[in-house]
């Protein structure tokens, strides 16, 4: 059974930094994509970034480009989402998700693409 576990959430001041982790287990395929989504109170879950496991290429939506960095970790099946220059509007529950294949076009921000989801980790940015 594929499982995803996020960690690293917490409280950070505006302008500060935070690093989220997503650890995946329970599968043997090596070509997959990990996407990150976030859901603020009262809003839909939005896709913000995606990374290919094989080549480490990452994609970002405009609202986080230049502030968020997604990378493959040294540990197997682990990815990191580095949040820099945090803004109050980044406050949300952050989820990682996984599907076989690669980040494709603009579909990487669509929830239906992903087969597996973590439980989420809360990020709160104070002003």
The reported pLDDT for the residue numbered 97 is: 98
Give the separation between CA 108 and CA 127, rounded to whole angstroms.
30
Tens of pLDDT along 75-95? 889 999 999 999 999 999 999
Q: Beta strand pairing status for 116-117 and 78-83?
A: unpaired
Q: How many residues does the chain have?
A: 127
Which pLDDT band holds residue 74 (cuts at 50, 70, 90)?
A: confident
Task: Tell me what the mean pLDDT of segment 41-55 comes to.
Answer: 95
Does the pLDDT of residue 106 top 90, yes or no? no
DSSP structure string for 73-117: -SSTTEEEEEE-S--GGG-EEEEEEEEES---TTGGG-GGG-SEE
The reported pLDDT for the residue numbered 76 is: 85
The reported pLDDT for the residue numbered 30 is: 86
The reported pLDDT for the residue numbered 51 is: 97
């Amino acid at each position: 059974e594929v499982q995803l576990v996020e960690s690293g959430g917490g409280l950070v001041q505006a302008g500060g930094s935070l690093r989220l982790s997503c650890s995946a287990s329970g599968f043997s395929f090596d070509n997959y994509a990990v996407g990150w989504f976030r859901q603020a109170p009262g809003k839909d879950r939005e896709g913000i970034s995606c990374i290919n496991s094989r080549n480490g290429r990452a994609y970002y939506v405009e609202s986080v480009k230049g502030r968020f960095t997604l990378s493959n970790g040294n540990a197997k099946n682990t990815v990191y989402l580095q949040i820099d220059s945090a803004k109050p509007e980044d406050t949300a529950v952050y989820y990682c998700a996984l599907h076989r294949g690669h980040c494709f076009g603009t579909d990487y921000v669509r929830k239906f693409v992903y087969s597996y989801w973590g439980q989420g980790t809360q990020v709160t940015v104070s002003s």
